[in-house]
Amino acid sequence: MTARVSPYLSFAGNARDAMRFYRSVFGGSLQIATFGDLHGPTAAAADDLIAHATLKGESGIVLMGSDRTPGDDGAGGTSSITLGGDDETELTGYWERLSEGGVVTVPFAESQWGARYGRCTDRFGTDWLVNLTPPPAS
């Protein structure tokens, strides 16, 4: 049996847009369920909010997320998502799409440890660290 860790992202009412954006970055399939879908009618303001979304990206990336319900202030900590690998085309594409419209805090460039590395916060407030390592020498 294999254990897996998948980021679960929390949004303030824009989970649908965020998860669709991540699908445009990573490809794959996206499943979305609203609070109304799962629990029947609740408070009208919450029925259309996302109770759970799962993105299964084409290269095996899995992201999950939901909207915070009214009264949930999102307290509980901060996090970042790290993407790593040696496929230059794939990781450079991810970087370009994730950083577009966001804030770049470390430009995607050669790092002290020999990899191309960058850090950004996407337009939905999620922090991303992208680390492109050179492929092993043949």
pTM: predicted TM-score of the whole model, two decimal places: 0.81
Number of domains comprising the chain:
2
Do 62 and 88 fall into the same domain? Answer: no
Give the β-pairing of 80-85 and 127-132. Answer: parallel
Pick from 67, 91, 110: which residue ends a domain? 67
Which domain covers residue 88, as residue numbers? 80-132
Residue 97: phi, psi to the nearest 5? -75, -40
| 16 occurs within a structural domain | yes
What is the full per-residue pLDDT of the chain (138 aa) written as tens digits?
Answer: 555 778 999 898 899 999 999 999 999 999 999 988 876 656 666 788 998 999 999 999 999 998 887 666 665 556 789 899 999 999 999 999 999 999 999 999 998 888 899 999 999 999 999 999 887 776
Pick from 67, 95, 111: which residue ends a domain? 67
| 137 occurs within a structural domain | no
Q: What CATH code is carried by the domain that includes residue 41? A: 3.10.180.10
